[in-house]
């Protein structure tokens, strides 16, 4: 997925350059660096050792280091120029710099470039099926019972949370769109996550949730097998296009 998003960004920059914009940084570019697991999983594994060291963060998810102010700061983009970038990126104007803007702007064009050669859109999106399976697992009897046991365990440790997600949100905050917090864990987060990890291990919460997810995913696969095969073939074309774009970009 990361390679696909990098290719989308490359295609967007290429499109903007063709429209007469210089550089490679524009408003609305596809974000190509993110924690896919954090973004796509309702519940992540958490060990006591991990919690004691990083809280709910991953080892690489830390606050950006402080840097010395630049002696030659980059001037802000004028509002008029920024609005023109946005219009071109998302197809809000028909022409810029006397050049025709592709339908839907450079954002939509990058998607067409990625999908070039593919016979059709995805008949079914595996990511949607995975999310649906997780939502079903969240409501499974075995999981709701485990969550209740987990909540009781946390209360015994001095915390009042209905779900692990509540604990994460309260102790660590809300992650950015890339799935990362971009902060350093504080003492409260470390303590909360450590108790959380202990209670997950005691109740078998993550294992029960994962088993339920697997059950619903297998059911979804069986129900959508033909469409998933077609989706896999289409995705392979996307990956081929993405790999070629990234390799060409890296050579320059």
Q: How high is the pLDDT of residue 136?
A: 98
- Predicted structure pTM score: 0.80
Averaged pLDDT for residues 116-143? 94
Q: Residue 120: pLDDT band by 50, 70, 90 thresholds? A: confident
Residue 220 has pLDDT above 60, yes or no: yes
- Range of weakest confidence among 39-53, 70-84, 198-212: 70-84
Per-residue model confidence (pLDDT) at position 41: 84
Q: What per-residue confidence (pLDDT) applies to 121?
A: 85
What residue ranges do the domains of the chain occupy? Answer: 2-65+77-251
Can you give the pLDDT at residue 80?
81
Average pLDDT over residues 102-107: 97
- Whether 71 has a pLDDT exceeding 70, the answer reads no
HEC per residue, the chain: CHHHHHHHHHHHHHHHHHCCCCCCCCCCCCCCCCCHHHHHCCCCCCCHHHHHHHCCCCCCCCCCCCCCCCCCCCCCCCHHHHHHHHHHHHCCCCEECCEECCCCHHHHHHHHHHCCCCCCCCCCCHHHHHHHHHHHHHCCHHHHHHHHHHHHHHHHCCCCCCCHHHHHHHHHCCCCCCCCCCCCCCHHHHHHHHHHHHHHHHHCHHHHHHHHHHHHHHHHHHHCHHHHHHHHHHHHHHHHHHHHHHHHHHHC
């Amino acid at each position: 997925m990361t390679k696909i998003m990098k290719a989308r960004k490359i295609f967007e920059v290429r499109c903007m350059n063709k429209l007469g914009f210089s550089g490679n940084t524009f408003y609305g570019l596809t974000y190509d660096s993110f924690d896919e697991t954090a973004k796509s999983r309702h519940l992540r594994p958490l060990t006591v050792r991990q919690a004691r060291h990083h809280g709910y963060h991953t080892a690489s998810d830390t606050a950006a280091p402080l840097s010395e102010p630049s002696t030659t700061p980059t001037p802000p983009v004028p509002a008029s120029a920024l609005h023109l970038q946005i219009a071109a990126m998302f197809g809000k104007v028909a022409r810029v710099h006397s050049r025709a803007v592709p339908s839907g702007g450079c954002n939509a064009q990058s998607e067409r470039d990625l999908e070039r050669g593919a016979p059709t859109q995805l008949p079914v999106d595996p990511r949607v099926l995975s999310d649906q399976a997780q939502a079903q697992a969240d409501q499974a009897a075995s999981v709701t019972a485990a969550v209740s046991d987990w909540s009781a365990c946390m209360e015994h440790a001095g915390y009042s949370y209905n779900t692990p997600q509540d604990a994460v949100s309260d102790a660590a905050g809300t992650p950015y769109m890339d799935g990362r917090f971009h902060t350093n864990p504080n003492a409260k987060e470390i303590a909360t996550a450590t108790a959380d990890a202990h209670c997950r291990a005691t109740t078998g919460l993550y294992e029960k949730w994962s088993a339920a997810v697997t059950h619903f995913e297998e059911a979804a696969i069986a129900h959508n097998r033909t469409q998933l095969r077609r989706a896999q073939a289409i995705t392979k074309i996307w990956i081929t296009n993405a790999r070629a774009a990234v390799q060409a970009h890296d050579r320059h």
